[in-house]
Structure 1
Amino acid sequence: MKYIASCSFGKDSIATILLALRYGEPLDEAVYCEVMFDSHISGEVPEHRDFIYGTAIPALERMGVKIRILRGLQTYVGLFTGRITRGPKKGLLRSFPICGRCAVQRDCKLKPILRYQRSLPPDTVQYIGIARDEQERLLRLDGRRVSLLDKYGYTEQDAKQLCREAGLLSPVYDFTDRGGCWFCPNARRRELRHLYDHHPDLWARMLELQALPGKVTEKFNRTTTFSEIDAGFRREDEQLSLWKNAA
């Protein structure tokens, strides 16, 4: 049998690996799939990517954990600029992914993972980072997908503390409590504000995509265009500047 840990390098997946090492659970490798914005730019929030490659992978490898990195053939930009080939919207750019039916999740993450899983023995056990207090998600696990967090009684907060004590807590938890690509349509306002404030180069790339003509949708998420989000942040900055000057 082979034992692998699915790893996003968030608190739950790293805590799972740490528990496997602590309690002598079999572990052949940790598998990470990196979604790419384009052929050169990662889809990971830059602070998280720096943590993955600069801190987490070297530390886990020193502990004897083999890390396998997967990437799909497709990228966010490739999907965005692809054209619909049939139907009433034929010829339009596919543009922003649909919330709840994300083509990026499907083509850039799930496909390479499933392709790799097909190469594994059929009795492979997969460790999934689901905490004791995520009961609905735990109920969806089957016999070959196991939660070590649940087995050893770790909640999400316990997992975060375990990572913090090991020096392996991603800096993204300073401004969000979830993982995800920096261009995710489900990104919360504070995540988008962080991108706007700290990564103007990536923000500009999204505005460039927003400006492309002939898209099937102009909406970045269910309700708002990326340009509207940008305008809202600019208004906030202007109001803050006026307030500071008045004070």
Structure 2
Amino acid sequence: MNEINPKPEYWVLSLSGGKDSTALGLEWLARHKTDPVTYPLHEVVYCDTWMEFPAMMEHINQLEKIFMDAGIKFTRVQNPKSFDWFMFEYQPKRHNPELQDKKGQSWPGPQARWCTAELKTRIINRYLAHLREEYTVIQLIGLAADEEYRLEREHNQNPEHRHPLAEWGWTEADCLKYCYSHGFDWGGLYEIFHRVSCWCCPLQSLEELRNLRKHFPDLWAKLLDMEHRTWRTFRADYSVDQLEIRFAFEDERLAAGLPINRTREFMTELRKRLAEAEPQK
């Protein structure tokens, strides 16, 4: 850095739209209005991954208006190539010769989270790199006080990040309560899901996928269609078709007053149903 003419600081709120970044953004903005020197804020950056819940997009629209009405620049960034393009069309160089003819990245997974890299991290970093040509960028990150592991990693890797929620002692529960008290409820998404991320994420728990099927049948139908258009199984333990069989089986048992816990009887009958649905070779 040029010590004679240092780059001016430029404070950016990284907004995911979830409860933590929303609580941080609203509270920081309130403090900024009364004390802009202590709580500077120049821009809010939101990255659209193409696969957000409709209620999340409505939430982002609300926040955009609030920040813009306060005179804060609000920027949406997005990879011009969609999630569908990466999943079904993109053909990267593959090290495994058995996958050479496969089309698309297919489903992301724990060892290949291409969605985060291609649709979020690289897009945000590219935009911030442009800002850093002119400014010293300080990022406000919505990590709550009870996310100790993530905070420790952040402190070690990203010294330009600030974590006000942790400094204020706000937990994830505090953030959700704060948002609810300010009239933000995401159309009830946090009553259904523990975390609100992309609706098609294979890393969701079985309970969250069960709730997706129950509360969002239109999105569940899209998930089934996506499964039929790609070559990798949705999860290591279940395809979407198999999950449909399992959840329908659970519905039958619940209607009959039978338990759906992992008893030997339940799992034996489930395996039987899954086997019956397998195509005959």
Distance 2:256 2:147 in 1: 45
Where in structure 2 are the equivalents of 1:85-164 lying within 5 Å? 85-86=93-94, 87-93=97-103, 94-121=105-132, 123-139=136-152, 140-141=154-155, 142-164=158-180
Where in structure 2 are the equivalents of 1:1-247 lying within 5 Å? 1-24=9-32, 25-36=39-50, 43-53=51-61, 55-82=62-89, 83=91, 85-86=93-94, 87-93=97-103, 94-121=105-132, 123-139=136-152, 140-141=154-155, 142-170=158-186, 171-212=188-229, 215=231, 217=232, 219-243=233-257
The residue matched to 1:2 in structure 2 has which SS? strand
* 5+ long unaligned stretches in structure 1: 37-42
User: What is the deviation of 1:175?
Assistant: 1.1
Higher helix share: 2
Per-residue Cα deviation, 1:50-78 (whole angstroms, up to 9, x for no partner):
3322x333334334443211111222211
- Percent identity, aligned pairs only, is 28
Distance 2:44 2:206 in 1: 31
Distance 1:61 1:234 in 2: 46
Higher relative contact order (CA 8 A, sep 6+): 1
Distance 2:53 2:19 in 1: 15
1:39 counterpart residue number: none
TM-score, normalised to structure 2, is: 0.76
Larger Rg: 2
Change in Cα spacing, 1:100 to 1:15, as seen in structure 2 (3 Å) is farther
TM-score, normalised to structure 1, is: 0.85
* 5+ long unaligned stretches in structure 2: 1-8, 33-38, 259-281
